[in-house]
Amino acid sequence: MSTVPSDLPKDAGSRLQELEHGMFTSDLSVNEFLLVKRAGFHPLGLVMGSSIYHIGLQRGNWGQSQEMTKLSEAMYNARELAMKRMEEEADQLGADGVVGVRLDIKFYEWGSDSAEFIAVGTAVKAEDGQSYRNNQGKPFTSDLSGQDFWTLTQTGYFPLALVMGTCVYHIAHRGIGQAIGQMGRNAELENFTQAMYDARELAMKRMQDEANSLAAAGVVGMRLEEKNHMWGEHTIEFLSIGTAVARRAGADHVAIPQPTTIISFDN
């Protein structure tokens, strides 16, 4: 057993030791478990990372649309901390990767301006003895379900890492004059449109940059989440998140079976 990385809180060690002796825990459903097994992986254990983070203060300029860089940094750094700790737990178990990763943010009543960032997933190890770690030598991470993971492996592609980009943006309030001028008319709120565009573009670009640095072929299951969290209506976090994938060496000609078309009679 390797020593616990100093970054991991001390209590993480003993639980992981038990998992090294063949017992596994997982929040995979039965179907997901069987599909992950079918894809050639065995679950090692539920791994998680958490960080309670104080999010600094930054006030938006009432009439100006702008990125709140300090808040963007906070959201990114805190998630990174949680993800990193989860990866470290997986690393300690000798895992090839983590499937079914969920990122959560919890706001507690007693923790003003702070939030807990959590990453949870199931660490897995290949049964064929080969290494499936990503090109940075780290366990791969993915938020794909067991079903999607199996389907992806059928295509010859393989997850590299969960990639994300975030941008907290303050969207300007309309000037009173402008609001009166537009009253009663159908009109595009151009500054809103532009602000939303900019913010989404920033978030997506940051995610793509992460994917590029991994030399990924693409990002699957990408989604864009928009949340106000605790900042009121005009400050929004745009979070772009997905699984960066690459074609696995030697998987150039993968014949994907023609899927059967069915109509389910389930209610």
Partner 1 sequence: MTDTDGRSAFDSGLTTPDFAACLSMGLQPVALVQGFYVGQLGAWSSYRANAVHTYPCPWGWRGTNEHPPPGWLGTQDAVDEAWATAFATAHQRMVQEAEGLGAHGVAGVQVEMGHPASEQSTEVHLYGTAVRLAGTAPGSLWTTRIAGHKLAKLVEAGYAPVSVLYARCTAAMYEGCYMEHYGSNMVPAGTALTPVQDVHNLARTRALQQAWQLAGGHSLYDVELSAHEGEGQTMYVTCQVLGSLVRRVRPTLPLATPVSTVALRD
Partner 2 sequence: MTDAPAPRSAFADRAHQEADLGELGRLLAQAHGAGDIGRGCTSHLSLDEVLLLHAVGLEPASVVTSTSAVTVPPGVWTWNTGQVQEADYAFAEAFGVTRDQLRVQAKQVGALGVVTVDIELRLDPHRFVITMMGTAVRAATDEHGNAHFPVRYPTPFLCDLSARDFVVLSRSGWYPIDLVAGASFVHAPRRGLGAAIGQATQNVELTPMTETLYAARELAMGRLQQEIGRVQGTGLLDVRVVDRPMGFAHHVIRFTAVGTAVKLLAEAHVHPELEMVVPVDDRVAAFDARNLD
**Which stretches of the chain bind partner 2, using CB under 8 A?**
9, 11-12, 14-15, 18-19, 22-31, 33-35, 37-38, 43, 46, 48, 50-58, 70, 73-74, 77-78, 81, 106, 108-111, 113-114, 116, 120, 150-151, 154, 256-257, 259-264
Contact 79, 119 (CB under 8 A): yes
User: Is 117 a residue that touches partner 1 (CB under 8 A)?
Assistant: no
In the 8-state DSSP scheme, what is residue 55?
Answer: P
What's the min distance (Å) between Cβ of 261 and partner 1? 10
Binding to partner 1 by residue 263, rule CB under 8 A? no
CA distance 193 to 51: 34
The encoded tokens of residue 165 equal: 């980009």
Q: Which does 155 bind (CB under 5 to 8 A by kind): partner 2, partner 1, none?
A: none
| Contact string 31-70 vs partner 1 (x = CB under 8 A) | ----x-----------------------------------
178 binds partner 1 (CB under 8 A): no
Nearby residues of 170 by Cβ (< 8 Å), 6 or more positions away: 60, 61, 64, 65, 66, 67, 68, 234, 235
Give whichever of 110 and 265 is closer to partner 1, judged by the CB atom: 265
Q: Which two tokens stand for residue 214?
A: 């991994």
Distance (Å, whole) CA 73 – CA 203? 12
- Tokens (6 digits) for 45: 């254990």
Among 151, 155, 178, 191, binds partner 1 (CB under 8 A): 151
Phi and psi at residue 257, to the nearest 5°:
-60, 145
* Of positions 147, 193, 212, 228, contacts partner 1 by CB under 8 A: 147
For residue 247, which of 129, 151, 124, 153 has the smallest C-alpha distance?
Answer: 153
Q: Tell the smallest beta-carbon distance from residue 30 to partner 2 (Å).
A: 4
**Cβ closest to partner 2, residue 36 vs residue 219:** 36
